[in-house]
Amino acid sequence: MIWNCKDYNDLSKDELYDILKIRQEVFIIEQNCNYLDADSFDQVSQHLTCYKQSELIAYMRIVPEGEIYPNISFGRILVKQKFRKIGLGKEIIQRAINVFPKDTTIVMSAQLYLTQLYENFGFKIIGKEYLEDEIPHIKMIRNE
């Protein structure tokens, strides 16, 4: 498996296409959620990818502080369906955390069913559950 973390301007056209395609597959088709994925935060973000040969199988967007939240935020975290339950979700989160100093504050809008996974990485729930694109979410923070 090949892992990379790149700024938007360093992505090739094919990498960007792969990212947009897998996000549509998981968040729009699989989760049956209609929303505008191209939200203008990609251009300021880092993109953490995992390829198996030429197939993108895991992805996360890391948005810098001051763009969505006052702190760095993780989002669009996914693992392609046929590659789930082999530890890639945990690995991508750990790799993203490792990009920053240990005391960096990180925020995310987490799908509710994944809170325990994120708590294992030191994220804590803040606030109350809410619907984001008709899917239950909760705001979480690490190193507040």
Give 80-133 pLDDT, tens digit per residue.
Answer: 999 999 999 999 999 999 999 999 999 999 999 999 999 999 999 999 999 888
Kindly report whether the global pTM for this prediction surpasses the value 0.95.
Answer: no
How do residues 33-47 score in pLDDT, each as one tens digit? 888 889 999 999 999
Three-state DSSP at 32 gives coil
The two counts, helices (H) then strands (E), for the chain are 3, 7
Domains and CATH numbers, the chain: 2-142 (3.40.630.30)
Maximum pairwise Cα distance, the chain: 41
- CA within 13 Å, CB half, 60: 26
Q: Distance between CA 78 and CA 49 in Å, rounded?
A: 10
Rounded-to-10 torsion of CA 40, 33, 89, 119:
90
